[in-house]
């Protein structure tokens, strides 16, 4: 097929009025037209033989822990800071909880290169839409935009690289104002979450903690105050890190705390490390003397 936009990248002006993205505010379409769309390579490099070949499908590349739940004020999204490659710790200050716009946060488990690029496309998509169309993209539209990015990336996933399993949290200011939380699978299916969600290698432990607290604890997560919610997040991540080497948890000595963001009607708030340090240290059982029987103390 003839590429209608060949040669366009170098001379972005003047453009025909019907260029993709112009009428609809679709930034991904604009990038595709200019040959700048990050996932474009996935299609070109698609190896037919790889499809359906289980050996090519990554088993566990989401080595991290991210979680989110709805509480009294809105929705809280948190992620540890560790980035790993196999059994190597690559980086201990990775930011996996990314602000996409003034009310939306995407938390990522998976391949950082792909995930950060997706976040970048998404951030620009929402702003491009608002600026060109002179209205905010609906929450439904935002959820779908991330779905589409994940689906476009699936060719890469089938080749064994670039798995991303994100959480997406936002505040819907529509007729029924409400905090919204979604998780995705690698193909881009989105699932709305009523209470809590966690993904990444440390998520089984976190889900255990959240399920337990939500079902049997003093009160359901939805009724938690900010302090209670923050305390629970720190404890849940610490619990995940206890067994999962790919989860950084809380490093008090290195003063590395998880990234925690709270989304309310007013916008996004990032919790500072001092607050987290105070909450984490209070009420923690520390042994009086070195423990001998197989219990590690952080």
Partner 1 sequence: MFEEPFRFVEAIANRREYIENQIATGSPVVALNYAGGILLLTLGRERQKIFEVYDRIALAAIGHPGDIERLRMTAIELASTEGFTRSAGDVSLRRMANYSISPALKQAFEQVYGAPYLARMLFVELGPDAGQNTFLRVDYDGAIQTNGTPFSKTRQEYAALSGTRPSAEAMERFLARDFKSGLALREALSLALDAWTVGFLALDAEGEKKDELPGSDAIRGARREQMENAAVEAAVLENRAGSNITFRTVSEEELTALRGNDAG
Active site residues: 64
124 touches partner 1 (CB under 8 A): yes
Give the residue, chosen from 32, 57, 58, 102, that forms a contact with partner 1 under the rule CB under 8 A. Answer: 102
32 burial type by CB count under 10 A (0-12 exposed, 13-18 middle, 19+ buried): middle
User: Which among 209, 186, 181, 213 has a CA at the least distance from the CA of 197?
Assistant: 181
Using rule CB under 8 A, residue 12 touches partner 1: yes
Cα distance between residue 66 and residue 233, in whole Å: 10
Q: Is residue 171 a contact point for partner 1 (CB under 8 A)?
A: no
Apex CA 138: angle with CA 132 and CA 144, to 5°?
100
216 binds partner 1 (CB under 8 A): no
Sole binder of partner 1 in the list 1, 7, 10, 13 (CB under 8 A): 13
x/- letters, 186..205, toward partner 1 (CB under 8 A): --------------------
Choose which of 5, 32, 34, 214 interacts with partner 1 (CB under 8 A): 34
Give residue for tokens 């995705």.
184
Nearer to partner 1, 132 or 190 (CB): 132
Are the C-beta atoms of residues 237 and 247 closer than 8 Å to each other? yes
Contact 171, 208 (CB under 8 A): no
Cβ atoms of residues 127 and 26 within 8 Å: no
Of 16-24, 163-171, 204-212, 216-224, the window that binds partner 1 (rule: CB under 8 A) is: 16-24
Among 2, 3, 6, 17, binds partner 1 (CB under 8 A): 17
The single residue listed with the structure tokens 């009160």 is 219
Q: Which two tokens stand for residue 181?
A: 């939380």
Residue 126's Cα: distance from chain center in Å? Answer: 16
> How many residues contact partner 1, by CB under 8 A?
25
Query: Distance (Å, rounded) from C-alpha 100 to C-alpha 245?
Result: 29
Residue 146 near partner 1 by CB under 8 A:
no
- Site for partner 1 (CB under 8 A): which residue of 26, 27, 184, 233? 27
Check binding of 105 to partner 1 (CB under 8 A): no
- At its nearest, how many Å lie between partner 1 and the CB of residue 13? 5
Answer for which of 15, 50, 57, 161 binds partner 1 (CB under 8 A) is 15
Q: Of 243-282, which residues contact partner 1 (CB under 8 A)?
A: 267-268, 270
Sequence-separated contacts (24+) of 35-39 with Cβ below 8 Å: 35/5, 35/9, 36/9, 37/121, 37/152, 38/114, 38/117, 38/118, 38/121, 39/149, 39/152, 39/153, 39/155, 39/156
Give the shortest CB-155-to-partner 1 separation in angstroms. Answer: 21
Site for partner 1, rule CB under 8 A:
12-15, 17, 21-22, 27, 30-31, 34, 36, 102, 120-121, 124, 127-128, 130-132, 134, 267-268, 270
């Amino acid at each position: 097929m003839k590429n209608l936009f060949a040669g366009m990248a170098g001379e972005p002006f003047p453009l025909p009025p019907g260029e993709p993205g112009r009428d609809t505010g679709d930034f991904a379409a604009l990038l595709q037209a200019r040959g700048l769309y990050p996932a474009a390579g996935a299609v070109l490099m698609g190896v037919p033989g790889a499809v359906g070949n289980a050996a090519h499908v990554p088993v566990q590349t989401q080595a991290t822990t991210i979680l989110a739940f709805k509480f009294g004020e809105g929705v809280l999204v948190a992620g540890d800071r560790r980035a790993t490659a196999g059994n190597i710790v690559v980086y201990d200050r990775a930011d996996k909880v990314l602000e996409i716009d003034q009310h939306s946060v995407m938390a990522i488990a998976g391949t950082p290169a792909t995930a950060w690029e997706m976040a970048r496309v998404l951030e620009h998509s929402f702003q491009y839409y608002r600026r060109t169309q002179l209205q905010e993209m609906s929450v439904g539209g935002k959820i779908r935009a991330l779905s589409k990015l994940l689906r476009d990336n699936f060719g890469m996933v089938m080749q064994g690289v670039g798995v991303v399993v994100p959480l997406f949290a936002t505040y819907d200011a529509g007729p029924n104002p409400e905090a919204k939380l979604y998780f995705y699978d690698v193909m881009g299916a989105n699932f709305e979450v009523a209470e809590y969600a966690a993904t990444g290698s440390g998520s089984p432990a976190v889900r255990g903690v959240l399920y337990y607290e939500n079902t049997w604890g003093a009160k359901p997560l939805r009724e938690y105050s900010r302090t209670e919610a923050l305390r629970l997040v720190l404890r849940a991540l610490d619990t995940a890190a206890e067994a999962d080497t790919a989860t950084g948890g809380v490093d008090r000595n290195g003063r590395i705390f998880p990234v925690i963001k709270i989304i309310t009607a007013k916008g996004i708030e990032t919790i500072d490390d001092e607050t987290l340090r105070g909450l984490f240290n209070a009420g923690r059982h520390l042994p009086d003397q070195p423990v001998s029987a197989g219990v590690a103390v952080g």
